[in-house]
Amino acid sequence: MRPLVALVMCAWFAPYGAAAVDWPAVNAQLDEAVADAADQRRAAGVALVIVHAGEQRVAIAHGLADKRSGVRLTVDTPMPIGDASRLFTAALAMRAVDRKSLVLDAPIATDLSVGFSQDASAVTPRQLLTHHSGLAPNWLRGMFYQDGEADPLPEVLPLNYAPGELMNSSNLGYVVLGRLLQKAAGVSFESLLTTELLSPLGLAHTGTAVHARTARAHRKGKTLDPLMARDTPALGVIASAADLGRLLIALDAESPGVWLSRESRLAMVAPQNANNVWDVGNLVGLGWELVASPRPGVGLIATQSSTYPNFRAEVRWLPQHRLGVIALANWREAYEPLDDLVAQAIDMVLLQQRGITPREEDRPLPESVALPKGAEPTRFAARYATPLGIMEFAPEGQRFDVQFLGLDFRADPRPDGWWSLRFRFWGVLPISIDAISRVLIRPVLLGGRASMLAFAQDRYFLFGSKIESDAIDLESLTGTYVLSNPDALTKQLEIEQIELEVVDGVAALAYELPFILTIRPRVALAPLGGERYAVAGFGPNLGDAVRVVRGDRARIEYSGYVAEKVE
């Protein structure tokens, strides 16, 4: 059998034969790219680290950790990493699995100092790790704070979907997982993180508290103190780029050491939900989102991306190539520069190591896009509920006029059954905007439900579903409602008030967000009975509970916020 195995391995790697990487050349090119990114008008600092085959190969930082004081950013400068905190929590969970103090598929305990709005007896740690617990994404009020103590979570957490039903990225799920881990260990999550992960791996620049060496936040060129995150297991780790590199080395299945079993390291990057029709082909591991690259030879890419207020973090791990890239920035507008830096770094290494052709920048959409498994074609409905608000369609000849986010769009048909979008300037002239022109939409029946699919960056997204119900009983309460308990998040988003509207029998909450263009999402409500409503629609980031209270002064309660009607 050995000659046969050798022959198969040769055939597998023949087109992409492994070669030595010229790391000094890679470092030189990326150093210039990082310097350029940190030199942009509103930029502060950028750190980039590459690990490969168990070693740190590139470590670059340019710009400032604090524009006010002039302190330079380094690869050892800690900063909030937001969603990438989940990697630390997932690693702790798998360490508990190795020690047999956690069973991934056993129902969670119910005495976790928290209850659930529905029966959660079937929720398992695996579902918490893979965002299939059914828990709502967030409890928004108090999620970020700056001065004093964080507002606590409610005693009862909202369960929007049945456990296992669909992937709904949930910070609350990781909070529950953190409580499960600290209950098993008998210590706080912060103590568990230090003793079980930071100390054994020598991560000296990682923790959960802001201190003098933490990078400051920057927004529109101004220096700000960083916000803290209440939900530590999901969002609250503060780490350096170099420490994140050390974590990736420890999670490499081929790295030596016994901190985590090889079986657990492999499980973290193995798809856990390949057969779930509602996930429309989007894969998730244990702590990782997984993307199957369309480029031959690349394989799975494990990712964590964070848009923590005024910070950005991109972490990507290519297990087949033992290649990890980490990029961190401490300024709000860094999303696109960081994404480009990480992609450039991956392309350079894969080209040298395996001869894999770099990605085609500005690559056009495929001429033909198939439907994902379980989806059937259908016609557009008049309205769809999406996480960004109501999307309305009106036929205009062979096209559709689309109202979305308070803006006008034109949907044009393609031969493959998908539709492309163009922004209608002043509501009249259709023009192509790059970010919009790279997204396709299509109405489908998915699991028998009238749904809206989107396709972008070689991935499908369940964007929302047809609005089925109305809420006309709220017509007497329409008007302006002002937030009575704003917090750090609403101040960041500049949200002070909302409007309760009823149009064509559909009730919606509307608010404004000031971006390059001011957008106005209108979030549809579905009645549940009495004063109880839910964000309408079926899909990720939909289904959150809303309470509308009548009385002398009507109020709306949502995710911890209270807004009172203006008389």
C-alpha dihedral (280, 282, 286, 291), degrees to nearest 10: 160
Q: Are strands 156-157 and 115-116 parallel, antiparallel or unpaired?
A: parallel
In this predicted structure, what is the pLDDT of residue 555?
Answer: 96
pLDDT, mean of residues 105-110:
85
pTM for the model stands at 0.93
Q: Is residue 340 a contact partner of residue 278, using CB atoms and an 8 Å limit? A: no
Asked which of 7-16, 240-249, 336-345, 443-452 is least confident by mean pLDDT, the reply is 7-16
pLDDT, mean of residues 14-31:
81
pLDDT, mean of residues 399-417:
94
In this predicted structure, what is the pLDDT of residue 505?
Answer: 86
Asked which of 14-23, 437-446, 532-541 is least confident by mean pLDDT, the reply is 14-23
In this predicted structure, what is the pLDDT of residue 359?
Answer: 86
In this predicted structure, what is the pLDDT of residue 436?
Answer: 78
In this predicted structure, what is the pLDDT of residue 18?
Answer: 65
Tokens describing residue 444: 């489908």
pLDDT band per the 50, 70, 90 thresholds, residue 16: very low
In this predicted structure, what is the pLDDT of residue 433?
Answer: 54
Amino acid at the residue 277: V
Instruction: Please give the Cα distance from 86 to 78 (Å, whole number).
Output: 16
Q: How many CB atoms lie within 10 A of CB 494?
A: 10
pLDDT band per the 50, 70, 90 thresholds, residue 382: very high
Mean pLDDT of the chain: 91
Percent of the chain exceeding pLDDT 90 equals: 80
pLDDT band per the 50, 70, 90 thresholds, residue 117: confident
pLDDT score of 4 more than 50: no
Tokens describing residue 74: 């380094």
In this predicted structure, what is the pLDDT of residue 469?
Answer: 66
Residues 34-63 have pLDDT tens digits of: 999 999 988 999 999 999 999 999 999 999
In this predicted structure, what is the pLDDT of residue 428?
Answer: 47
pLDDT band per the 50, 70, 90 thresholds, residue 257: confident
Instruction: Please give the Cα distance from 250 to 260 (Å, whole number).
Output: 8
DSSP state of 550: -
Structural element, H or E, at residue 11: helix 2-13
Sign of CA dihedral 292, 294, 298, 303: negative
pLDDT score of 387 more than 70: yes
pLDDT score of 426 more than 70: no
Tokens describing residue 489: 């998040």
pLDDT, mean of residues 287-311:
95
In this predicted structure, what is the pLDDT of residue 385?
Answer: 96
In this predicted structure, what is the pLDDT of residue 7?
Answer: 29
In this predicted structure, what is the pLDDT of residue 423?
Answer: 86
pLDDT, mean of residues 268-277:
94
pLDDT band per the 50, 70, 90 thresholds, residue 193: very high
Tokens describing residue 449: 């439900």
Three-class SS string for 259-298? CCCHHHHHHHCCCCCCCCHHHCCCEECCCCEEEECCCCCC
pLDDT, mean of residues 7-34:
71
Q: How many CB atoms lie within 10 A of CB 309?
A: 20
pLDDT score of 8 more than 50: no
Alpha carbon separation from 507 to 468, 475, 500, 536 (Å, rounded):
12, 8, 7, 10
Residues listed for the chain: 567
**Ramachandran quadrant class, 529 (left: phi over 0; alpha: psi -120 to 50; beta: rest):** left
Query: What is the number of alpha carbons within 13 Å of residue 281 lying toward its C-beta?
Result: 17
DSSP assignment string, 238-250: EE-HHHHHHHHHH
pLDDT score of 5 more than 50: no
pLDDT score of 13 more than 60: no
Percent of the chain exceeding pLDDT 70 equals: 93
pLDDT, mean of residues 242-268:
96
pLDDT band per the 50, 70, 90 thresholds, residue 418: very high
